Chains A and B, each alone.
Chain A
């Protein structure tokens, strides 16, 4: 049986990298005694598959993890809620299960399936509102990035699916402490992940041309991941209300 769960990563723990998170999950699954299938071979590994990577320093309510449970485990005896409950006691402060569902073994991995994600960001820079309008009215938005020592200029306009100030109803579902700590203008953006995926820091570079993004980006939170079904964009897993426990 395969289980897809979403989890949050909030507060201090946002500074861990994706390799760190993989190790954290491995230990948490073992501590929770979840009967995860183990790969065969020289170095047996837990059969888990992570969704799209989250940039170090960014937070999320909806990171994805697919877990294949061991064949010989008594699948009926471990309820999905029980898995979530046990993991919430073994995951470190700042991480918790926000959604869980069974999925078919044949279902595409979260990495392949997700086409876009929604971000909420605190951006501190003068004239942000005007910049948002400028980008929305442009047909092209060029940013520079360095890859393997080579500078490249890319047009990211097509990857910005939505950009605007955060809607009032959206901000109501966010943890109030999070909004409190996001200085500057709080914006919401839907960025593509398919093909040339757009990072939130690249959007900041587009908003504040020539800047060092982390000098302006006070906080960045992923709140939704989207997949496409029958031409419709649907939420990959509806997130549970955000919990507020973070490392003090």
Chain B
């Protein structure tokens, strides 16, 4: 076991931001490798600055290093300058903890938060010295595992990964460790790789693509079936039932160099049942599980003391929905011994005045910008996507923000949504203009930036049947927004490149045949595809053409009710019937309430897993319409009933 440090060290003064390769973070483990221990290399397929703050990776790193039979280190994608020097000198992918070669690990586990990183995964497997295709791997090569949100349709990666883990990793990493430990003890003999994979496929939440046959008729997938009777027909996601029992990370990693979220993060809950139909995160992380407020307070005070940070971010998919939010926020008091008082940041703000009031309470210093996500320009389209924010909610939020001293707002919108017309697109700038005129009452500097992203339908959502807008259509709609904004004082527009949206569409709902496309793009040099300076759509289109695949089939085609999806055999717990009903309800412009505070409509997640919502408050928090379109400014205390049109039932 040797460290690669002495070979890396002379290269580091010659590359950009060398501090991202040195490790030495506050909170890092001192990994002790040893006989009989399963060695995990936890990999994030993007640069260190993006990957280091990832909470999922930090949690698993800590849990694994607490085990007597496991050891975990971390690695991130080296930037292209260092990669070139490494390849020139045959230096393999290395861990940042002890600079150990990736091939000295038993498991190479990737956290995938998005699809465009797929080519980086291949690049890192290759840098690790392992064949990129599973069929070429030898018993000595590490097992390649992926997890994270993008693993819910792992089919485009099926040829390159040994396993995918669906859902939360806290418990399953231990179960995987035990099986791999046995395999290691038995000597990882020739031919044993297949046997250990078959064992792993029996763990709930673990999907082994090589144990399944995919049948096609023409372009169409018609069936995905296990090859053996003991391999499950349906792989179901893992969910931690009680977040309060998993107080991680206990020693958060504090990097020596600047990263994207350079502050303490405390996760206040998982899951979201607001039911936004475009949102994969909200669908696949159900149900809502709040962390006890007392534990949140402990994690904040302990974390600040331990890290030296003076800023804490309370994370979740919609932090203002946390039952204990006010009590937690008001309990963060300045520590007299520390220098300066800590500030709280609330990402993913809900759009209403109450939430802004909360933000005003915690914001210290200069109030520069606040971000809201109405997602669609008209109430009609917002009922389609079930983001039930009224204009009053938004204007109330904006009024509250400008009057509390903020001068710049950012509004996030999606374009290319189902049923979207040019009236909806025009509504984007109308809303922004409304916000600017409110702002002008308070400051002459009032400005609103509209950020427009092309919508990519995702697996396990009600919109999985929807045909994504093509590049020309997205360009046209973004053009409409830009044109209208050009005529409106104080409204600025930013937009996401529709070409990247198309590539994301290919990867998001692709089947196994897309794997060859990913490999071609990588072999042509297409790494860091989330970075606009490296993204070239033609690489993707050429690769599709070379493989005889049509972007239209995978991306812009509307799917029928009986479509067999590539993720047909994978379950996030949601009944297919529920998703289909919700898709029909979307087209009928009918909203669906948040089941946290209203009776269950049986999406399937809780009942299928013996789970329940864990929510401290039985009623919706005060303020705004609470995504119901009704006036609940007093805080909802009775179940609301919804729907401008009756729900479609079959």
Which residues of A come within 8 Å of B, CB atoms?
A: 12-13, 15-17, 19-20, 23-24, 26-31, 33-36, 38, 42-44, 46, 56-57, 90, 92-94, 212, 214-215, 217-218, 247-248
Contacts and interface: CB of A to CB of B under 8 A. Distances in A.
Contact of A23 (B10, B258, B338): B258
Contacts of A16: 19, 22, 256-257
Interface in B320-360: 337-340
A80 to B, nearest CB: 18
Contacts of B13: 15, 56-57, 214, 217
A38 B26 CA distance: 24
Contact of B24 (A12, A19, A26): A12
A57 B18 contact: yes
A42 B307 contact: no
A212 to B, nearest CB: 8
B254 interface: yes
A93 B585 CA distance: 58
B333 to A, nearest CB: 15
Contact of B305 (A23, A31, A214): A31
Given A29-B339, A30-B310, A43-B365, A19 B258 contact: yes
B254 A42 contact: no
Contacts of B340: 30, 38, 44, 46
Leading 8 A-B pairs by shortest Cβ distance: A27-B308, A57-B13, A15-B18, A31-B308, A33-B337, A214-B13, A12-B22, A247-B24
A30 B339 contact: yes
B8 to A, nearest CB: 10
A28 B306 CA distance: 10
Q: Chain B's interface: helix, strand, loop or mixed, by majority?
A: loop
A28 B337 CA distance: 13
Contacts of B308: 26-31, 90
A42 B365 contact: yes
Contacts of B310: 30
A215 B14 CA distance: 8
Given A27-B254, A33-B337, A93 B18 contact: no
Interface residues of B, number: 31
Counting chain A CB atoms within 10 Å of each CB, the highest count among B26, B256, B309, B340 belongs to B256
Nearest to B305: A31
Given A12-B23, A30-B338, 10 more contacts: A12-B24, A20-B19, A20-B256, A20-B257, A23-B258, A27-B254, A33-B337, A42-B365, A44-B365, A56-B18
Contacts of B254: 27
A178 to B, nearest CB: 13
A31 B310 CA distance: 10
A57 B12 contact: yes
B339 A38 contact: yes
Contact of A92 (B10, B26, B305, B366): B26
Nearest to A43: B365
B262 interface: yes
Given A20-B258, A92-B26, A214-B14, A34 B19 contact: no
B262 A36 contact: no
Contact of A24 (B21, B256, B337, B339): B256
Contacts of B21: 15
B256 A13 contact: yes
Counting chain B CB atoms within 10 Å of each CB, the highest count among A19, A93, A94, A247 belongs to A247
Nearest to A25: B308
B24 A23 contact: no
A38 B310 CA distance: 13
A34 B340 CA distance: 11
A218 B258 CA distance: 26
Interface in B253-305: 254, 256-258, 262, 305
Given A16-B257, A17-B257, A214-B14, A35 B19 contact: no
Contact of A36 (B18, B24, B339, B364): B339
B24 A92 contact: yes
Contacts of B18: 15, 56-57
A15 B365 contact: no
B257 A46 contact: no
A36 B14 CA distance: 36
Contacts of A90: 308
Counting chain A CB atoms within 10 Å of each CB, the highest count among B26, B305, B366 belongs to B26
Nearest to A36: B339
B578 to A, nearest CB: 47
Contacts of B258: 19-20, 23
Given A15-B12, A44-B365, A23 B22 contact: no
A35 B339 contact: yes
23 contacts: A13-B24, A15-B13, A17-B257, A19-B258, A23-B258, A27-B254, A27-B307, A27-B309, A29-B339, A31-B305, A31-B307, A31-B308, A33-B337, A35-B337, A36-B339, A38-B339, A38-B340, A43-B366, A46-B340, A57-B12, A92-B26, A214-B14, A217-B13
